[in-house]
Amino acid sequence: MVKALYLHIPFCSQKCPYCDFVSFVEAPLDHRAYLELLLRELELYRDFEILPESLYFGGGTPSLIKPELYAWFFKELSKRIDLSHVEEASLEINPEDYSLEDFSKLRDTGINRVSIGVQSLREEGLRALGRKHTVKRAVETVENAHRAGFENINIDLIFGYEGQTAEELKEELERALELPIKHLSLYLLTPYEDTQFGHLYERGLLKLPSEDSIADMYELACELLEGAGFYHYEVSNFALEGFQCRHNLAYWSHEEFLGLGVSAWSFINKVRFGNTRNIRLYARKVLEGKKPVEYEEVLEGKELLYDYLFTALRTSRGVPKELLRGLEPELYEFFEEKGGRLALNRRGMLLINEVLLRLKKAILL
Ligand code: SF4
């Protein structure tokens, strides 16, 4: 049964230099037309049992769509699926978009968790990341969400940008902890291929902190946030008790989920499938009554095991110990044992990509 529903909103007002998500500054569709497509796409899955306990509007920039339109969308959604079991409905928000009034209206739509893309609490950090909002605006946005009645607030921060020191990260985190937040996602800046930063980095024009500095920053962040009562429950995620993101935990627990929208991924019946990244093709297929799926992988045997490890090892809960028997001895240095399970230790979390690559070779080859 599908208990987690993801909705991809691909609109953005600018393309950030580090971003590799599918989003469009000039989309060929208006917001309402796109939301209608999501509803039509959902209807193509009427054979599946969909009873969501979590909804997640990610992007892109979902906050480019006004709350009034989400109110309409929720009404339409509830005509198609039972929403009475939804416990968490998240919406990603950029600081420049919503006012206090917008947050108040959003509260009435069914959204009960907001994830605000603060990214940095230093002006220099925001400039280094190519963001156009200010620290003041980001802080006001978090406060407005809280004032409007949102209790479950996440902020995203990025660390490891050009010129950042561990001391500066510490200041940012201390500032973050003064905000009325329950959850904090802290992502390491990665210069992905095919992004502006990726190109600059390849040409040696973007100087990022050394591996040692990054390790120090990660260590410092974990200490500081855990010291403030934020449980480090996933590589990049920290939450106060009772505020872990249940939607993302569904991904990391290998539960089934359905993703709607251009470029959205799903995992149902041991099949991972992904929609086209081409918004025109997405629209055409949905209007023709066809699923806009472009990639599909049926997972069995070792592939299914690796897929599980790939997702579950991101969490501090880890995986049953017996699944990791017989690995090269050096790999165990990245793990710690907790009650019959193995989870990545802090160093393992920091180097997760390397660990997963070595695991992949050990399991699949
Ligand atoms: S980081 Fe967010 S706001 Fe920036 S381009 Fe990507 S999706 Fe859009």
- Taking only the tens place, the pLDDT of each residue in 114-162 is 999 999 999 999 999 999 999 999 999 999 999 999 999 999 999 999 9
* Contact 15 CB / ligand 1 (< 6 Å): yes
Cα 127 to ligand 1 centre (Å): 15
Mutation to probe ligand 1, out of 61, 119, 126, 133 (largest number of atoms < 8 A from CB):
61
pLDDT for position 275: 98
Architecture of the domain made up of 2-251 = Alpha-Beta Barrel (3.20)
Q: Where in the chain is the domain with CATH 3.20.20.70?
A: 2-251
Average pLDDT, stretch 334-344? 95
Tens-place pLDDT, residues 29-65? 999 999 999 999 999 999 999 999 999 999 999 999 9
Average pLDDT, stretch 71-87? 98
pLDDT for position 337: 95
Cα 263 to ligand 1 centre (Å): 14
**CA–CA separation, 349 vs 365, rounded Å?**
23
Q: Is 93 helix (H, G, I), strand (E, B) or coil?
A: strand
DSSP 48: S
Looking at ligand 1, which atom is closest to the CA of residue 92?
2
Cα 21 to ligand 1 centre (Å): 7
According to DSSP, the β-strands at 265-268 and 271-275 are antiparallel
For 134, residues 6+ apart whose C-beta sits below 8 A from its C-beta are 123, 126
* Contact 58 CB / ligand 1 (< 6 Å): no
Q: Is the pLDDT of residue 365 over 80?
A: no
Tens-place pLDDT, residues 297-316? 999 999 999 999 999 999 99
Closest Cα to atom 2 of ligand 1: 60
| DSSP codes joined into one string, 257-313 | EEEESTT-EEEETTEEEEE-S-HHHHHHHHHTT---EEEEEE--HHHHHHHHHHHHT
**CA–CA separation, 10 vs 22, rounded Å?**
6
Give alpha helix (H) positions in the chain.
Answer: 31-43, 67-80, 100-107, 123-128, 135-147, 166-177, 196-202, 211-227, 246-252, 279-287, 301-312, 346-350, 352-364
Average pLDDT, stretch 213-221? 97
Looking at ligand 1, which atom is closest to the CA of residue 94?
3
Closest Cα to atom 5 of ligand 1: 15
pLDDT for position 200: 97
**CA–CA separation, 11 vs 38, rounded Å?**
14
Cα 160 to ligand 1 centre (Å): 18
Cα 274 to ligand 1 centre (Å): 20
Mutation to probe ligand 1, out of 12, 158, 187, 262 (largest number of atoms < 8 A from CB):
12
- State the pLDDT confidence band at 229, using cuts at 50, 70 and 90: very high
* Contact 116 CB / ligand 1 (< 6 Å): no
pLDDT for position 316: 97
This prediction's pTM: 0.96
**60 preceded by cis ω (within 30°)?**
yes
pLDDT for position 333: 96
- State the pLDDT confidence band at 363, using cuts at 50, 70 and 90: confident
Average pLDDT, stretch 338-355? 95
Mutation to probe ligand 1, out of 8, 18, 21 (largest number of atoms < 8 A from CB):
21
pLDDT for position 362: 87
Cα 285 to ligand 1 centre (Å): 25
- Only one residue has tokens 């049992």, namely 49
* Contact 16 CB / ligand 1 (< 6 Å): yes
